[in-house]
Amino acid sequence: MTNEISQPGASPMPAVRYDLANGPVVLGIESTCDETAAAVVRGRTLLSNVVASSMDEHARYGGVIPEIASRAHAEAFVPVVSKALSDAGMDIGDVDAIAVSAGPGLAGCLAVGVSGAKALAWAAGKPIYGINHVIGHVCVTQLQFGELPDNTLALIVSGGHTSLLRVTDIATHVEVVGSTLDDAAGECFDKVARLLGFPYPGGPHIDRHAQHGDPNALKVPMGLTQGRAGAEHPFDFSFSGVKTAVARWVESRRADGLDVPVDDVCASLANSVATVLSRKAMSACRKFDATTLIVGGGFSANSQLRAALAEAGKEAGVDVRIPEIKLCTDNGAMVAMLGSNLVEAGVRPSHPDFAIDSAMPLDRISMA
Q: pLDDT by residue (tens digit) across 153-212?
A: 999 998 788 999 999 999 999 999 999 999 899 899 999 999 999 988 889 999 999 999
CATH for 2-140+331-345, options being 3.40.50.2000, 3.30.360.10, 3.40.50.620, 3.30.420.40: 3.30.420.40
Q: How far is CA 100 from CA 131, 247, 354, 362, in A?
A: 6, 39, 11, 16
Cα 222 from Cα 270, distance rounded (Å)? 11
pLDDT at 1: 42
Segment 110-125 shows an average pLDDT of 98
238: left (phi over 0), alpha (psi -120 to 50) or beta: beta
List the helix and strand counts (H, then E) for the chain. Answer: 12, 12
Please report, in angstroms and rounded to a whole number, the separation of the first and last CA atoms in the chain: 28
Q: Residue 201's pLDDT is what?
A: 86
Residue 161 has a pLDDT of 85
User: How many Å apart are CA 190 and CA 128, to the nearest integer?
Assistant: 35
Assign domain 145-327 to its CATH superfamily.
Answer: ATPase, nucleotide binding domain (3.30.420.40)
Neighbours of 349 (CB within 10 A): 28
For residue 35, the model assigns a pLDDT of 93
H or E element in which residue 178 lies: strand 173-178
The length of the chain is 368
Contacts of 173 (CB under 8 A, 6+ apart): 167
Give the pLDDT band (50/70/90) at residue 240. Answer: very high
Q: Where are the domain boundaries for CATH 3.30.420.40 in the chain?
A: 2-140+331-345, 145-327
Let me know: does 164 contact 184? Beta carbons within 8 Å. Answer: no
* pLDDT digit string, tens, across residues 17-33: 899 889 999 999 999 99
Residue percentage of the chain with pLDDT more than 70: 95
* pLDDT > 60? residue 13: no
> What are the tens digits of pLDDT across the range 320-356?
999 999 999 999 999 999 999 999 999 999 999 999 9
Q: Which pLDDT band, with edges at 50, 70 and 90, does 10 fall under?
A: very low
Radius of gyration of the chain (CA): 21
pLDDT tens figures, 278-312: 999 999 999 999 999 999 999 999 999 999 999 99
199-208, long-range: CB < 8 A, 24+ apart: 199/59, 200/55, 200/58, 200/59, 200/61, 200/62, 200/63, 201/55, 201/159, 203/298, 203/299, 203/301, 203/302, 204/301, 205/266, 206/266, 206/269, 206/270, 207/266, 207/270, 207/301, 207/302, 207/303, 207/304
What is the pLDDT, as a whole number, of residue 14? 45
Please say if the pLDDT value at position 3 is more than 50: no
Residue 4 has pLDDT above 60, yes or no: no
User: What's the confidence (pLDDT) of residue 158?
Assistant: 83
Whether pLDDT at 9 is above 70: no
What's the confidence (pLDDT) of residue 15?
Answer: 59
Q: How far apart are CA 76 and CA 82, in angstroms?
A: 10
pLDDT tens per residue across span 30-69: 999 999 999 999 999 999 999 998 877 877 777 788 899 9
